[in-house]
A and B are shown apart, each in its own frame.
Chain A
Amino acid sequence: MIEVFNLSRFYQMGHVTVRALNGVTFTIKKGQFIGITGASGSGKSTLLHLLGLLDRQTEGTIKIGGVDVSTLSDHERTLYRLKKLGYVFQDYALVPELTVEENVFLTSIVRGMKQTEYMQRTDEILKRIGLFDRKTHKQSELSGGQQQRVSIARAIVNGPEILYADEPCANLDSESSKTVLDLFKQINQEMGQTIVMVSHEDWHLQYFDRVITLRDGGIIRDGIP
């Protein structure tokens, strides 16, 4: 469902051209749980930002469901992200003034969903991640692992086609990391959610169906872990 062809992202730093991503080609099938690994600076985040329509490539194409997403206008890309993509960030990136449930249903308001419907969905998803009893709490009243679970709930509440996560466990201790990874795995297996996750912890690899390893902006390995 995602076809990436000869994808590159260069940064111009004065006279130097930084080739953050240098002509990668691969495809991702629906329902896969993919890990992207590699050393620091190898281009993992750059790739994820391009796949997530947050950044624009220098060269190459990305087709999602057959659509060349580079042809979309900024506004169309925003709508695309709203309707079809989900994101989990390393620092959770919740809105501090909103409660747990408000963070989760925020994008449902943008989508124009009826209140009864999004409240029901929010409750379901919060039960699923085990934070239903915390739904009126604020971000500051939650642990890091709990905050990250809320951010996962926010990302998947409207059933995105692809869920992106950039080092979602980097700020968590190993126990919370495990809970969060288990949750990803569960979503992947029970809901068939396609997930692309950046990680550079070796012990995470066991969770993935497939691992793409980058070095210096290029793919050096692509296969089962």
Chain B
Amino acid sequence: MNTNGYKTSFFLASRSIMRGSRGSLYLTVLIIAMVFINMIFMPSIIMGFIKTYEDQFIAYDIGNILVSPKTDDQYIEDIDGLIERLNSVPGVFRAAGHYSTGATLRYKGNTLGTTINAIKPNDERLVTNIHKRIKDGDYLGEGETGQIIMGIQVSGHRDKAEDMGPTLGYVSSGDSVTVDFTNGVSRELRIKGIIETGSYTTDQGVYITWDEMESVLGHPITEGSYVIIKTDPGVHEDTVKTQIYRFGIAEKVQTWEDILKEAMGRAIADFAMLNSITIIVSLIIAVVILFIVIMIKTLSSRRQIGVLKAIGLDKGIIVFNYVFQVLIMTTLGIILGIIVLEAMVAILTAYPFQFSDGSVTPVVTTADLVNNTVLLYGAGFFAGYIPAWRVASEDIMTAMRA
């Protein structure tokens, strides 16, 4: 078929859409819009969920990069030296060391086993955002002792129903808890602040200062459990990771992405599978609906199709008339779908979904819009082409007698 053929098809299709039945046009466009929304919305919520998880993981748990002991070692030797070297690597904004040990917390008959992290608050403030999430009391100060801060899932809520696991049964800042360390030392520590981030893992954290830990152990700490790093804004973590290795650091270096991939690889694959199923089901619905619409249109226009062929329009022009009609309806449906999606995203950004691990807003990327648009056009093309081709293939005399 030549350009004039496509021109004619488009001419017929546009007139058919403009002057044909309004009701069926609106319904079809609406259904395509729904299908389009369905293709994008569910996955966008899942993406939003993952994004929230990633953001929290970076902001509260490990920063951008985690440096941990070589596989066989339990501790990193000479942690101060390592941190000093890490801080000099280009792209590293700040490194902060952690020393973790097991302990038991006791308060008024409630006992809770936990891991306590010793931190240097001045470094820590520059790497994580936990200091911004103290909802009761204050964050630890550099060098101070006799203090402890803990997440709300350890301290417990005033309303027990909000606790998601065992807690100390509601302690607040100013209260004292008894801490039994694994080396047999027991301390009464005053709660300086309660952390509430919305992330369940983070809200289970318990922190004391490096100095307090040294006093518990009875000697200066030269080793550490791991180092967390915040990178300079705009720098890609992988680049920084390469730089760190280039500086001759022998410890294990992982970006947040490395860790999440390892930990959530399976879950992400499952999500991807779920998204694919949603998209495939949506496409099948779109194809079936458009197929039926065009089938009805063509079957009820058999005589008309015969006449057009009689006066010299070839089969291709007739087929593309219907294909263009489908593509126009698909375009209208996608435009409507995008408007509705944008509205939904705007509303859900203002009033996000609240999940146990924080609030989730849908994430719709341009790539999602483009990919799904292409898929829907492809599906629409076939859904229009096949029934139109079948009816247009009919012999002229048979068609005209219809």
Within 8 Å of chain A (Cβ to Cβ): is B310? yes
Do the beta carbons of B311 and A82 come within 8 Å of each other? yes
Do the beta carbons of A154 and B311 come within 8 Å of each other? yes
> Pick the contact of A112 from B4, B15, B313, B400 — CB < 8 Å?
B4
Residues of B within 8 A of A112 (CB): 2-4
Interface string of B13-25 (1 = CB under 8 A from A): 0011011100000
Within 8 Å of chain A (Cβ to Cβ): is B8? yes
Within 8 Å of chain A (Cβ to Cβ): is B11? yes
Do the beta carbons of B313 and A110 come within 8 Å of each other? yes
Residues of B within 8 A of A81 (CB): 310-312
In the bound complex, how far is the Cα of B7 from the Cα of A169, in angstroms?
A: 33
In the bound complex, how far is the Cα of B312 from the Cα of A112, in angstroms?
A: 13
In the bound complex, how far is the Cα of B310 from the Cα of A93, in angstroms?
A: 11
In the complex, what's the smallest C-beta–C-beta distance from A18 to chain B, in angstroms? 14
User: A93-B307, A95-B304 are contacts. A107–B20 as well, Cβ < 8 Å?
Assistant: no
How large, as a class, is the contact surface on chain A?
Answer: 20 to 34
Q: Which residue of B lies closest to A85 (CB)?
A: B312
Within 8 Å of chain A (Cβ to Cβ): is B133? no
Do the beta carbons of A109 and B310 come within 8 Å of each other? no
Do the beta carbons of B19 and A93 come within 8 Å of each other? no
Within 8 Å of chain A (Cβ to Cβ): is B308? yes
Tell me whether chain B's interface is mostly helix, strand or loop, or mixed: helix
Q: Which residue of A lies closest to B303 (CB)?
A: A93
Do the beta carbons of B311 and A54 come within 8 Å of each other? no
Within 8 Å of chain B (Cβ to Cβ): is A111? yes
Residues of A within 8 A of B8 (CB): 106, 109-110
In the bound complex, how far is the Cα of B11 from the Cα of A55, in angstroms?
A: 28
Interface string of A80-100 (1 = CB under 8 A from B): 011101110100010111100
Do the beta carbons of A95 and B312 come within 8 Å of each other? no
Do the beta carbons of A110 and B304 come within 8 Å of each other? no
Residues of B within 8 A of A106 (CB): 8, 11-12, 311, 313
Do the beta carbons of B397 and A110 come within 8 Å of each other? no
Residues of B within 8 A of A89 (CB): 307
Do the beta carbons of A97 and B19 come within 8 Å of each other? yes
Residues of B within 8 A of A52 (CB): 310
> Pick the contact of B11 from A75, A79, A109 — CB < 8 Å?
A109
User: A111-B4, A112-B4, A138-B19 are contacts. A49–B397 as well, Cβ < 8 Å?
Assistant: yes
In the bound complex, how far is the Cα of B318 from the Cα of A110, in angstroms?
A: 12
In the bound complex, how far is the Cα of B307 from the Cα of A83, in angstroms?
A: 15
Q: Which residue of B lies closest to A91 (CB)?
A: B303
What would 9 more interface pairs be, CB under 8 Å, given A107-B313, A110-B4? A52-B310, A54-B396, A87-B311, A95-B308, A97-B15, A97-B16, A98-B19, A107-B311, A110-B8
Which residues of B approach A to under 8 Å, CB–CB? 2-5, 7-8, 11-12, 15-16, 18-20, 303-304, 307-314, 317, 396-397, 400
Lowest 7 CB-CB distances: which A-B pairs, in order? A82-B312, A112-B4, A93-B307, A97-B19, A81-B312, A78-B314, A109-B8
